[in-house]
Structure 1
Amino acid sequence: MRRLVMAFLVAALGAAAVAAQDRGPETGLPMPRYVSLKAPEANVRRGPSLTHRIDWVYKRRGMPLRITAEFGHWRRVEDRDGAGGWVHYSLLSGVRTVLVEQDLLDLHARPEPGAMVIARLETGVIARLSECSPAWCALSAGGHDGWAQKAALWGVGAEEIVD
Structure 2
Amino acid sequence: MKRIAGVVALLGALVGGPLAAQEGEGTGSADIPSATPAAKPPEKQCRPDVGCVTNLPLPRFVSLKGSEGNARRGPGLTHRIDWVFTRAGMPLRITAEYENWRRVEDAEGAGGWVHYSLLSGVRSVLVTLDMAELRAAPEASAPVIAQAELGVIGRVLECRTDWCRVAFSGTRGWIRKTDVWGVNADEIID
User: Is 2:79 the counterpart of 1:52?
Assistant: yes
User: Is 2:164 the counterpart of 1:137?
Assistant: yes
Match of 1:37 in 2: 64
Query: Secondary structure of 1:67's partner?
Result: strand
Match of 2:188 in 1: 161
User: Is 2:127 the counterpart of 1:114?
Assistant: no
Cα deviation for residue 23 of structure 1 reads 1.1
**Which letter maps to 1:39?**
G
Cα deviation for residue 70 of structure 1 reads 0.2
Query: Secondary structure of 2:138's partner?
Result: coil
Query: Secondary structure of 1:21's partner?
Result: coil
User: Is 2:94 the counterpart of 1:73?
Assistant: no
Gap regions ≥5 residues in structure 2: 1-44
C-alpha separation in 2, matches of 1:67 and 1:53: 19
Match of 1:84 in 2: 111
C-alpha separation in 2, matches of 1:62 and 1:78: 14
Aligned 8 A contact 2:83 2:111 in 1: no
C-alpha separation in 2, matches of 1:133 and 1:151: 12
C-alpha separation in 1, matches of 2:66 and 2:74: 19
Cα deviation for residue 117 of structure 1 reads 1.0
**Which letter maps to 1:84?**
G
Cα deviation for residue 39 of structure 1 reads 1.3
Cα deviation for residue 45 of structure 1 reads 0.2
**Which letter maps to 2:174?**
W
Cα deviation for residue 21 of structure 1 reads 2.4
Question: Normalized against structure 2, the TM-score is what?
Answer: 0.75
C-alpha separation in 1, matches of 2:84 and 2:152: 19
Aligned structure 1 segments of 4 or more residues deviating by more than 6 angstroms: none
Deviations along 1:112-133, whole A, 9 cap, x unmatched?
Answer: 1111111100000000001111
Q: How many residues align?
A: 146
Question: Normalized against structure 1, the TM-score is what?
Answer: 0.87
Matched residues, percent identical? 60
Cα deviation for residue 53 of structure 1 reads 0.4
**Which letter maps to 2:110?**
A
The one of 121, 131, 137 equivalent to 1:104 is 131
Larger radius of gyration: 2
**Which letter maps to 1:137?**
C
Aligned 8 A contact 2:65 2:120 in 1: yes
What is the RMSD computed on CA atoms of the aligned residues?
Answer: 1.1
**Which letter maps to 1:153?**
V
Cα deviation for residue 161 of structure 1 reads 1.2
The one of 82, 90, 96 equivalent to 1:63 is 90
